[in-house]
Amino acid sequence: MAAGRNLVKMAGIVLFVTLFSINSFAFDKDAQSGDDPYGYSSSYSDKTGIPQWGINILYGEKGFGGSSQYYFNAWENTDLFVGLSFSSVSDDREFTEYDLYGNSFTPDKVNRVFMVPFTLGLKHSLFRDEIDGSIRPTVSAGITPTMVLMNPYSKSYFAALGYFTTSYAMGGYVGVGMDFNQNENLAYSFNISYHYLPVIGKEVMSLENRPIKNLGGLQFTIGVNLLK
């Protein structure tokens, strides 16, 4: 619960910064003469670099990991993309304790859990004609069939790699974000998304007799986009 509240607070801070950034970079085009007053040339501002590859790190209510996407231009200001992620999964009810010798352990933990979501989605750039400079607000949505991997916590990390069992989840997500164009070939991106991923296969358990029903939740993503 505490982790969830912290994520909500972080989301509020990020949304505030996002709105402030939009206000700072948006201005009346009629006031322009020559170069963008914020340091971006008007010739660059008119260009519409389309992301081809995206590489990200992600942190969410269920864990931490990385992802990559490939983009195809669908129509003006909108891209179709496919993505693959890998992240750890933890149960909200987990907590860490320490023995007399300072060794940490998680009571009742039976499995290490990881998930590999495959994403098919759409990403749309907002206000392209109204906002000049390097900022591009975005919205996105997609479906995320997911493979879930579990191995026994009773074995050491590397010894357990040969004992994976699998399950599956299926759902989708919606998100908002910002792309910051660094130059014609590179952009930085930040996204906040909410994922709904109910388990549809074998029960997924990190803690004994406590199955995880939904692998989704709030997620933050920071990455770089390689532009065409």
Amino acid at 79: D
Confidence at residue 133, expressed as pLDDT on a 0 to 100 scale = 64
- Give the pLDDT confidence score for residue 33 in this predicted structure: 40
In a domain, 17, yes or no: yes
Residue 81, judged by CB atoms within 10 A of its CB (0-12, 13-18, 19+), counts as: buried
In this structure, is residue 98 part of a structural domain? yes
DSSP secondary structure code for residue 145 in this structure: -
- The whole-number pLDDT of residue 75 equals 85
C-alpha distance across the termini of the chain, in Å: 42
- Distance, in Å, from the CA atom of 93 to the CA atom of 62, rounded to the nearest integer, reads 11
160, part of any domain: yes
Q: Is residue 142 part of a domain?
A: yes
pLDDT the model gives residue 76: 82
The pLDDT, as a whole number, for residue 185 is: 83
Structure tokens at 66: 């990385």
pLDDT truncated to tens, each residue of the chain (228 aa)?
Answer: 444 444 444 444 444 444 444 444 443 343 344 444 333 333 333 444 566 889 999 999 989 999 999 998 888 888 999 999 999 999 888 888 888 888 887 899 999 999 999 999 999 988 766 666 678 899 999 999 999 999 999 999 899 999 999 999 999 999 999 988 888 788 899 999 999 999 998 999 999 989 999 999 999 999 998 876
138: domain CATH number is 2.40.160.20
Whole-number pLDDT of residue 129? 67
Show the domain range for 199.
2-25+51-227
Is 75 among the domain residues? yes
Take residue 219 and report the two structure tokens written for it: 């997620």
Q: Where are the beta strands (DSSP E) in 61-184?
A: 64-75, 78-89, 97-98, 104-105, 111-125, 135-143, 146-152, 165-169, 172-181
> Tens of pLDDT along 74-97?
888 889 999 999 999 998 888 888
What integer pLDDT is reported at residue 123 of this predicted model?
93
In a domain, 39, yes or no: no
Q: How many domains, in total, are found in the chain?
A: 1
Residues 6+ apart with CB under 8 A from 42: 32, 34, 35, 36, 132
- pLDDT value at position 51? 65
The position carrying tokens 């389309």 is: 50
Q: Tell me if 43 is assigned to some domain.
A: no
In a domain, 30, yes or no: no
Q: What is the pLDDT of residue 164?
A: 95
Tell me the HSE value of 205 on the side-chain side, using a 13 A CA sphere: 12
pLDDT score at 218: 95
pTM of the model: 0.74
Give yes or no for a contact between 199 and 216, defined as CB atoms under 8 angstroms apart. no
Under a CB-based contact definition with an 8 Å cutoff, are residues 171 and 195 in contact?
yes
